[in-house]
Chains A and B, each alone.
Chain A
Amino acid sequence: MKKPDVKIVLLGDVNVGKTSLLHRYMERRFQDTVSTVGGAFYLKQWRSYNISIWDTAGREQFHGLGSMYCRGAAAVILTYDVNHLQSLVELEDRFLGLTDTASTNCLFAIVGNKVDLTEEGAAEDQEKEEGCSREAGSSCASAKVSKQVKLEDAVALYKKILKYKMLEEKDMPAAEKMCFETSAKTGYNVDHLFETLFDMVVPMILQKRAEGPPQTVDISNYKQPKQTKSGCCA
């Protein structure tokens, strides 16, 4: 088994399309999925690096596993469904806390999936049936709805996350760069999402290598940042 150099974790509510996104990227197709049980992971060879990408389960039952999956992650992809406002709210309420175990310089990406179901998304998607023109949009309202979550909402969440993590905006990638709208169904923006992140984590791999591999894991390392943080907040 190849040892991964770095870890990226997908988080997000049930049904937002985490598995579909990963599947689209890795297998180049969109396929019926079943709600993920526990978690699954893929190993992606990116240039000379092995990147492990963890797909987690959104179901409440498995919520407790999230912290462990996020431990030491170099990047976390927070996924929501653009047609489902609650899924964005959940990211902040339920999932953000799980990322406390991620590595201290962890990157965050916020991804609104299923844009193909929205009017804008439909316009971007050439493969869609011709019959449903923009004008006739209202008659097709059952299929194409106007987006519930705007990109600005995601950007706002991103900034909130930086605040929560007590990170300076100027030290982190710009919100506009880290908020994506995708469609696992059509493939829209999916490669862009993953490859942008891969490019960003490569320097982290190099840095990690330069520091040398932590052969014996000193778990006190993981506790300390937490303590300083709480101390600082108090």
Chain B
Amino acid sequence: MMNIKAFQLVSAIERELLMGDKDRINIECVECCGKNLYVGTNDCFVYHFLLEEKTLPTGTATFTATKQLHRHLGFKKPVNELRAASALNRLLVLCDNSITLVNMMNLEPIPTGARIKGAVTFALNENPVSGDPFCVEVCIISVKRRTIQMFMVYEDRVQIVKEVSTPEQPFAVAVDGHFLCLALTTQYIILNYNTGVSQDLFPYCSEEKRPIVKRIGRQEFLLAGPGGLGMFATVAGISQRAPVHWSENVIGAAICFPYVIALDDEFITVHSMLDQQQKQTLPFKEGHILQDFEGRVIVATSKGVYILVPLPLEKQIQDLLASHRVEEALVLAKGARRNIPKDKFQVMYRRILQQAGFIQFAQLQFLEAKELFRSGQLDVRELISLYPFLLPTSSSFTRSHPPLHEYADLNQLTQGDQEKMAQCKRFLMSYLNEVRSTEVANGYKEDIDTALLKLYAEADHDSLLDLLVTENFCLLTDSAVWLEKYKKYFALGLLYHYNNQDAAALQLWVNIVNGDIHDSTRSDLYEYVVDFLTYCLDQELVWKYADWVLQKSEEVGVQVFTKRPLDEQQKNSFNPDDVINCLKKYPKALVKYLEYLVIDRRLQKEEYHTHLALLYLEEVLQQRPSTNDKCAEVTGMQAKLRNLLQKSDLYRVHFLIDKIQGTGLHMESAILHGKLEEHEKALHILVHELKDLSAAEDYCLWSSEGRDGPYRQRLFHTLLAIYLSAGASDCELVVAAVDLLNHHATEFDASQVLQLLPDTWSVQLLCPFLTGVMRHSIHTKRMTQVAVGLAKSENLIYSYDKMKLKGSSIRLSDKKLCQMCQNPFCEPVFVRYPNGRLVHTHCAASRHTNPNSSSPGNRT
């Protein structure tokens, strides 16, 4: 068992002071009350001393006792017991089985001579029930067998209040409220003297071994148990603390929180009530008295009186911490809570937790350390400062004094062990990461984040980037130096960006992409830069790096113009002409940009549309150098061109027709002519140049999209005319004409068609056309008839309503009020709603609603 120094034994009264050289004089009992120290001797003397405490510069306490007086009590018996009742200014003296009251100051017996007779021993009730401050409650073990008596003792009189008999002879007693704790012949019991109810505690043979009954606090007693145990028991007869283990021949016990002190013939032992462990042993021969008086512990032999001075708890705790006994130190500190003012305690306890944390930390017990740092509310910088160079140079931090630990830095703590060092760093990383967003970080977020950045950079940790892209307080200069040192250029760029230095950030990243400096953090850094510029609000920067991104890749680079977020467009968008100007050198990018303007943003500006169409056209022409290559499939680019030509109405048609002339792009030129409403020409091209009859048919359909019926009919008739004009010789076109009629029967005006057709054509041939036309015509007729019928019947219904309403007359009098304005009618003109309500004409005009229904009213 490791010891701590909890008490120091100092002499209080030298033997010379008491008895000089008279050897047969023995100390029988002592009492201490404030500065008053009383000693009773075997030759019936009571001594009164004043006790003066001094603390030497070394921190050790010394006591000097100055004798005030001594008085013989007038018997030939020893003084057995002394108790002071300071409220009454009385000393209770037990001598020759009687308790006398003497003045505390001059030791004179009181004039009334009041006394308690027939007492073997007595105890004061430290938890009195009477509530009278000028009265003490005294319990005696009477000389009468098996009898306990309770007295009220006043300044000059005593009064018996209760006598109880016990089942066996009592040997020792302690009192708390109504509860007596008694050592009987064979056992300890709790006896409620008020109710007489008793409660067995445990067996103990008081005749064999002197019992100890000591009140240690509210409703709790300490008892000598079997096998040298110090047993705790409450008035309820239960034990709330584990016993302490004394020696078999223990003589006395005292309490000085949180310690239990016991005396035997060779030692004073000190146990902690908090963990039941023995904490200290002091050799002390021939001791026979051990008592505590309001926290002051006194031991005495028959010749001298000594005081056990507790070392300050804080000192004890520091001693424990110094020997790395964290657990015990914390138990002791916690146990001291109720003995120290709250504020002071908290400060002390926090510091102890922090110290304990560092002890655990030095042993690499990180979990425990973390918990202690957390509960001790450690200033994280104390921890950071252990790691060389982590605190920013600008930090104002200085370690607390006295220091929380004995280490200069991590190197000393780990003694250079790299593995341990790495573990410590990992711990700090996770710890800082945990606390940085808590209130622990308040006030020194810069220090924490900068340290964390340094750790991450050094360890090549992924979280470095997370730290920099989210809210952080990394100090720029300090961090930049570290990132450079560890070649974290990409991260450095992020840091610059976070500090609104985008230009510096971009320069770094461009250098990385160009291979001027090396940092492989991102393999897609180019795309990252493009993305960055896309969202960059600084136009100058975008212009600065536009050429660079476009040179790397036109398609990707152009995104800095085309992918810009929309909300930004309004306030701070690029002038398209500037961009187009810039993109001249980058044709692919230019196409993409124009597409963006025309298709995505739907800018209705002729130049862009024409420009885009022209670029498409050039591209198409470049792709198919051989003109009239009929079998070539429509390329993607061609499709785009056609699409644009068809959908857009803004480009300069004539300009494009000129460009397209002779290129063999028939379809495209047909579309262009169509734009000019030159449908015949367009269809002619399709039929005769392109020789794509289905394209011609399609043309009729899409060109007339969104137009009225006659417009479409005109197109079909034009096409039919083209087919027929070729004459019967071109039989392909004849077939086409027949098919056209048969497939699109309803698109034609049958009577006109029939006049156009050559007489030679058989009815057979045109059968589908004719039946189609007939059916359509009949259908139209019938539908019209139905419509006429319905309209007629509707008309009839309204006529009926009108007749009904007109059937009765309406009387207008002064009493009839307008339902809207509530005024009478002054003229014989009114409006009547179908529900019968009458209103002024002007009221009805101003509100075309029925006064009582939401549906519009019909006026009659």
Q: Is the CB of B195 within 8 A of A65?
A: no
Number of interface residues of A (CB under 8 A): 22
Name the B residues within 8 Å of A219 (CB-CB): 190, 192, 197-199, 235-237
A191 to B245, CA, bound (A): 30
A72 to B201, CA, bound (A): 13
Contact mask for chain A residues 198-234; partner B; CB cutoff 8 A; 1 contact, 0 none: 0000000000000000000101101100000000000
Contact mask for chain B residues 195-226; partner A; CB cutoff 8 A; 1 contact, 0 none: 10111111110000000000000000000011
Q: Is the CB of A38 within 8 A of B225?
A: yes
Name the B residues within 8 Å of A222 (CB-CB): 199, 237
Q: Does A41 contact B (CB under 8 A)?
A: yes
Residue among A41, A59, A71, A72 having the largest count of chain B Cβ atoms under 10 Å: A71
Q: Does B262 contact A (CB under 8 A)?
A: no
Name the B residues within 8 Å of A37 (CB-CB): 227, 229, 243, 245
Q: Does A69 contact B (CB under 8 A)?
A: yes
Name the B residues within 8 Å of A167 (CB-CB): none
Q: Is the CB of B242 within 8 A of A41?
A: yes
Q: Is the CB of A38 within 8 A of B231?
A: yes
Q: Is the CB of A68 within 8 A of B202?
A: yes
Considering the complex, give the chain A residue whose CB is closest to the CB of B227. A61
Residue among B192, B197, B204 having the largest count of chain A Cβ atoms under 10 Å: B197
Name the B residues within 8 Å of A69 (CB-CB): 239
Considering the complex, give the chain A residue whose CB is closest to the CB of B334. A1
Name the B residues within 8 Å of A61 (CB-CB): 226-227
Q: Is the CB of B242 within 8 A of A38?
A: yes
Q: Is the CB of B202 within 8 A of A65?
A: yes
Name the A residues within 8 Å of B383 (CB-CB): none
A220 to B235, CA, bound (A): 12
A101 to B198, CA, bound (A): 14
Considering the complex, give the chain B residue whose CB is closest to the CB of A65. B202
List 17 interface pairs A-B (beta carbons < 8 Å), by A numbering: A37-B243, A38-B227, A38-B229, A38-B231, A38-B243, A39-B242, A64-B187, A64-B204, A68-B233, A71-B236, A101-B237, A217-B234, A217-B236, A219-B235, A219-B236, A223-B197, A223-B199
Q: Does B787 contact A (CB under 8 A)?
A: no
Residue among A61, A68, A101 having the largest count of chain B Cβ atoms under 10 Å: A68
Which residue in B198, B225, B241 is a CB contact (below 8 Å) of A65?
Answer: B225
Name the A residues within 8 Å of B239 (CB-CB): 39, 68-69
Q: Does A62 contact B (CB under 8 A)?
A: yes
Which residue in B235, B241, B242 is a CB contact (below 8 Å) of A217?
Answer: B235
Q: Does A15 contact B (CB under 8 A)?
A: no
Q: Please report which residues of chain A, range 43-72, place their CB below 8 angstroms from some CB of chain B when the two chains form the complex.
A: 59, 61-62, 64-65, 67-69, 71-72
Q: Is the CB of B237 within 8 A of A68?
A: yes
Name the A residues within 8 Å of B62 (CB-CB): none
A199 to B242, CA, bound (A): 25
Given contacts A38-B245, A39-B243, A219-B237, are A64 and B190 in contact (CB under 8 A)? no
Tell me the minimal C-beta distance from B501 to chain A in angstroms. 53
Tell me the minimal C-beta distance from B5 to chain A in angstroms. 24
Name the A residues within 8 Å of B231 (CB-CB): 38, 65, 68
Closest 6 CB pairs of A and B: A217-B236, A64-B203, A38-B243, A38-B229, A219-B199, A64-B202
Given contacts A38-B243, A41-B242, A68-B201, are A62 and B236 in contact (CB under 8 A)? no
Contact mask for chain A residues 57-90; partner B; CB cutoff 8 A; 1 contact, 0 none: 0010110110111011000000000000000000
Q: Does A132 contact B (CB under 8 A)?
A: no
Given contacts A217-B235, A219-B190, A219-B237, are A62 and B227 in contact (CB under 8 A)? yes
Q: Does B638 contact A (CB under 8 A)?
A: no
Name the B residues within 8 Å of A174 (CB-CB): none
Q: Does B276 contact A (CB under 8 A)?
A: yes
Q: Is the CB of A68 within 8 A of B243?
A: no
Number of interface residues of B (CB under 8 A): 29
Q: Does A40 contact B (CB under 8 A)?
A: yes
Which residue in B226, B235, B241 is a CB contact (below 8 Å) of A62?
Answer: B226
A117 to B276, CA, bound (A): 33
Q: Is the CB of B242 within 8 A of A71?
A: no
Name the B residues within 8 Å of A41 (CB-CB): 241-242
A219 to B201, CA, bound (A): 12
Q: Does B631 contact A (CB under 8 A)?
A: no
A223 to B195, CA, bound (A): 13
Q: Does B238 contact A (CB under 8 A)?
A: yes
Name the A residues within 8 Å of B192 (CB-CB): 219
Given contacts A37-B245, A38-B229, are A67 and B199 in contact (CB under 8 A)? no
Name the A residues within 8 Å of B204 (CB-CB): 64
Considering the complex, give the chain A residue whose CB is closest to the CB of B233. A68
Name the B residues within 8 Å of A223 (CB-CB): 197, 199
Considering the complex, give the chain A residue whose CB is closest to the CB of B337. A1
Tell me the minimal C-beta distance from B248 to chain A in angstroms. 11
Q: Please report which residues of chain B, range 169-210, place their CB below 8 angstroms from some CB of chain A when the two chains form the complex.
A: 187, 190, 192, 195, 197-204
Tell me the minimal C-beta distance from B408 to chain A in angstroms. 36
Q: Is the CB of B202 within 8 A of A67?
A: yes
Name the A residues within 8 Å of B235 (CB-CB): 217, 219
A225 to B480, CA, bound (A): 80
A220 to B197, CA, bound (A): 6
Q: Is the CB of A67 within 8 A of B200?
A: yes
Name the A residues within 8 Å of B238 (CB-CB): 7, 68, 71-72
Considering the complex, give the chain A residue whose CB is closest to the CB of B229. A38
Name the B residues within 8 Å of A72 (CB-CB): 236, 238
Which residue in B187, B199, B276 is a CB contact (below 8 Å) of A40?
Answer: B276
Contact mask for chain B residues 797-826; partner A; CB cutoff 8 A; 1 contact, 0 none: 000000000000000000000000000000
A128 to B576, CA, bound (A): 83
Given contacts A39-B243, A40-B242, are A71 and B227 in contact (CB under 8 A)? no
Name the A residues within 8 Å of B195 (CB-CB): 220
Considering the complex, give the chain A residue whose CB is closest to the CB of B203. A64
Tell me the minimal C-beta distance from B652 to chain A in angstroms. 84
Name the A residues within 8 Å of B190 (CB-CB): 219
Q: Please report which residues of chain B, range 306-350, place their CB below 8 angstroms from some CB of chain A when the two chains form the complex.
A: none
Q: Please report which residues of chain A, range 19-44, place their CB below 8 angstroms from some CB of chain B when the two chains form the complex.
A: 37-41
Tell me the minimal C-beta distance from A97 to chain B in angstroms. 13
Considering the complex, give the chain A residue whose CB is closest to the CB of B234. A217
A62 to B204, CA, bound (A): 10
Considering the complex, give the chain A residue whose CB is closest to the CB of B190. A219
A62 to B202, CA, bound (A): 10
A68 to B229, CA, bound (A): 14
Name the B residues within 8 Å of A67 (CB-CB): 200, 202
A41 to B238, CA, bound (A): 13
Known: A7-B238, A61-B227, A67-B202. 6 other contacts (CB 8 A): A38-B231, A71-B236, A217-B234, A219-B190, A219-B199, A219-B236
Contact mask for chain A residues 98-125; partner B; CB cutoff 8 A; 1 contact, 0 none: 0001000000000000000000000000
Tell me the minimal C-beta distance from B205 to chain A in angstroms. 10
Name the A residues within 8 Å of B276 (CB-CB): 40
Considering the complex, give the chain B residue whose CB is closest to the CB of A60. B226
Name the A residues within 8 Å of B199 (CB-CB): 219, 222-223
